[in-house]
Amino acid sequence: MKTIKTLSLAVVAALSFASCSDDDDTPEIVNEEEVITTMTVTLTPNDGSEVITLQSRDLDGEGSDAPVITISGNLASGTTYDGAIVLLNETESPAEDITEEVEEESDEHQFFYTISSGLDVTTEYSNNDSDGNPLGTEFTLTAGAASTGTITFTLRHEPTKPNDGIESAGGETDILVSYSVTVE
């Protein structure tokens, strides 16, 4: 009987302890660190003409609202452009530059550029990872004859390196954005 008394005391003590836990604290907000909300491709022509930007922006991250895609202008036939890709997390203020992380872990990442068959455009990698394999946050783009089509930028995480292109690269897709462009 004494043990039962002791036990019930212990139970009451435990319960009152439990109910004392503070429940007034509201939880802390989480702004996701690794979310990529914005991809901006800047194409700077070698001839000094107008810079073209391609941007995909999805401020609410995954889900709900679809990304907003803007293209500042058309590519000029016969022009070569220096391309640079910037990835941002704009859910944070100031925005976090994710490109830096991709470049820090360059051997685990690679950008691929897929040009649709109707579009007369060629690309070439301009920067490499720490092992000398293509990374592709920087590239050159040469616009051929007047045409329209899509350029798809795919960032793969942990692809097989070196590889013969996106089909054999494997890995996990971190970014996949298609832009409809026109060469005039």
For tokens 């995480």, the residue is 157
What 3-state DSSP class applies to 150?
strand
**Given the complex with other proteins, which of 51 and 95 has the nearer CB atom?**
95
Give residue 108's Cα distance to chain centre.
14
- Residue 181: beta bridge partners? 149
CB atoms within 10 A of CB 36: 24
- Asked if residue 95 binds other proteins (CB under 8 A), the reply is no
By the 8 A CB rule, do 143 and 79 touch?
A: yes
The two tokens of residue 7 are: 């036990």
x/- track of binding to other proteins for residues 64-93 (CB under 8 A): xxxx-----------------------x-x
Cβ at position 97, least distance to other proteins in Å: 11
Using CB under 8 A, list all residues that contact other proteins.
1, 3-4, 7-8, 10-11, 14-15, 18-19, 21, 23, 26-34, 36-39, 56, 58-67, 91, 93, 101-102, 104-105, 108, 114, 116-117, 150, 152, 154, 157-158, 166-167, 170, 172-178
